[in-house]
Structure 1
C-alpha cells in the first residue's frame, strides 16, 4: 500500500488493474485489494472519469484508458532510450540473428523498453513494457554494476533474491561479487539465472561521463548458443551501447558536471 497519500493510493489501484493484462471485474480487484470496497470503488470511478481507466458497462470490466496510453507514448518518446536506440537495435539484431533487448532501471527493477526477436524466435519472459528482476538478468546486473555506491545499496535492498533456477545468484554477497566482475570487465552474463535454457551477454549504456542510462543484451537459447559464442559478441554489443549512450547524451541527457565512473 502506498504511503504517498491519495495520489499514491490511486496509482496503486492503477497498477493493480494493469497487472492483470486483461479486462478485469471489480470483484477480482476487490479480492486482491488492500483497500475497503467503498475506497476501491471511489478510486476506480475517479481514474475512469480522468480517462486513466476505461469501463465496459456491458462486460462490467475495467481496462487501462486511452489517456494513460497517450501519457505512456509521451514518456516512451521523451524519457525512454527506445526511439534513439531503434536503428542500433535493428543493426545488432540483423548481425547476430539472436534476440536483442534494451532495458532501463525502474525502481530497482528491469523495465524492458524495446526488443528485437531472433531469426528463429524462442519463447521467453521478456517483452517491451514488462518489468523483471535485476539481480538475475544480464541487463539488470549490467546496470546495477555501474550505479554509484548509494544507489547500488538501495537497489540491492530491493531485490527479492528468489531462486528461479539452480544458477540464480540468491545472496547479496554473490551478487556484489558478480557486479564487481562486470564493472571490471565491462560486460556480464545471464547464465540461465532467470529462465532455464536462456542465456545472454549484456552491456551497460553509459554517457561519456559514466552516467548509467540503461543496458543492451544479446540473448539466445542454450540449445544453440553457448556462453563462449555470446562472449564473442561482447565487443560488438559494447560498440553499439557506446553509440547509443553518445547519442542519448547529446539529445536527451546532456550533462557537464558528473564525475566519470572509474573501474
Structure 2
C-alpha cells in the first residue's frame, strides 16, 4: 500500500514524478514544509541536501519563495516567512512578538547564562509567551506553562508598576516567607521599580529562586510586557543590579524592534 501524500517525507515529495509541469510547485511546497516544520533555521545547502535538489535549483526556488514572503532569510538560515507570521498574528498576536523577541532573548541568555522570559498581559492576566532556557540543569523549567502570581514575580511587578496590570489592593497570597503580602510594601517596591527601571523578586515565588525584569514598550511607549531573567538565588542573588541594568538596555532594544515592525505593518495597511 502506498503512503498517503500527507505522511510522505519532504524529500519524497520533492523528487516524486509530477504530471503537467507541476514539479517546480511540488519542490517549492516541499521546501516550505521543511522550513516551517523545522525547529531551527535551515541553510540553503542543508535544504538542497535534505530534498535531494541541485544547489542551483534550490537557490532559485528559495529566492522565489522569499520574494513571495513564504520564507525569510536570516543570519542563521531560512525560517518561516512574514505571511505565516501575519496569519499567526491574526489568531494569536503574541506569536509574532515571541518570534521577534527571540534574538534579544538569546543574547540575554548568552550573557547571563540563565533562563530568559518574555511576559505580556493577555486578557487582563500575565502570561509568559516565550522562553530561552539556561545551560544549567538547575533552573531550567518551562514557565510558559505555569500560572504565576504577579505580586511575587519580577515580570508581574513591572507590569503592575507601569499600570499594565491592576495594582492589587488586598488578597496578596503568601507563597513563601519572603512574599510581599502588604499593599503598602508593594507600593514601596513599585516606586523603587519606577525609579531604577527594573524589578526583582528574591525567594518570593519559590524559596531559592530569584528573578529580575525590565519593561517592554509598544507604540506610544506604553508598557505591555517585560523581559525577565530567573535562576537560583545562589547564582544570581548578588548580580541583581548587573542583570537589571542589562535587561533595561535589552528591553529597550526589543521595544524598538517591535515598534518598527508595528509601524511597517500599519504603514502597509
- TM-score, normalised to structure 2, is 0.59
2-side partners of 1:102 and 1:224: how far apart? 21
Alignment correspondent of 1:237: 247
* Residue 247 in structure 1 maps to residue 257 in structure 2: yes
For 1:40-119, what aligned pairs fall within 5 Å after superposition?
74=89, 78-80=93-95, 81-119=97-135
Contact 1:99 / 1:121 at 8 angstroms: preserved in 2?
Answer: no
CA apart distance, 1:121: 3.0
Q: Contact 1:109/1:131 (CA < 8 Å) preserved in 2?
A: no
Alignment of 1:208-227 (within 5 A): 209-226=220-237
Shift of residue 105, structure 1, vs aligned partner: 1.8
The 2-side partners of 1:113 and 1:223 are apart by 26
Once the two structures are TM-superposed, the CA of residue 210 in structure 1 deviates from its matched residue by: 2.6
**Counterparts of 1:128 and 1:99 in 2: how far apart (Å)?**
12
For residue 241 of structure 1, report the CA deviation from its aligned partner: 0.3
Alpha carbons of structure 1 residues 204 and 162: separation in structure 2 relative to 1, 3 Å = same
Q: TM-score, normalised by structure 1?
A: 0.60
SS in 2 for 1:224: helix
Q: State the partner residue of 1:49.
A: none
User: By how many angstroms is 1:179 displaced?
Assistant: 0.8
Larger radius of gyration: 2
Q: How much does 1:213 deviate?
A: 2.0
Secondary structure class of the residue paired with 2:134: coil
Query: Is residue 108–residue 155 contact of structure 1 (8 Å, CA) maintained in 2?
Result: no
Structure 2 residue 172 is matched with structure 1 residue 156: no
Number of matched pairs: 179
Q: CA RMSD in A?
A: 2.8
Q: 2:211 maps to what in 1?
A: 200
The unaligned stretches of length 5 or more in structure 2 are 1-86, 265-269
**CA displacement at 1:252 relative to structure 2:** 2.9
Where 2:220 maps in the other structure, the secondary structure is coil
Structure-1 residue corresponding to 2:202: 191
Which structure 2 residues correspond to residues 6-45 of structure 1 after superposition, within 5 A?
Answer: none
**What SS is found at the alignment partner of 1:213?**
strand
Q: Identify, as 1 or 2, the structure richer in helix.
A: 2
The alpha carbon displacement at 1:225 in A equals 2.2
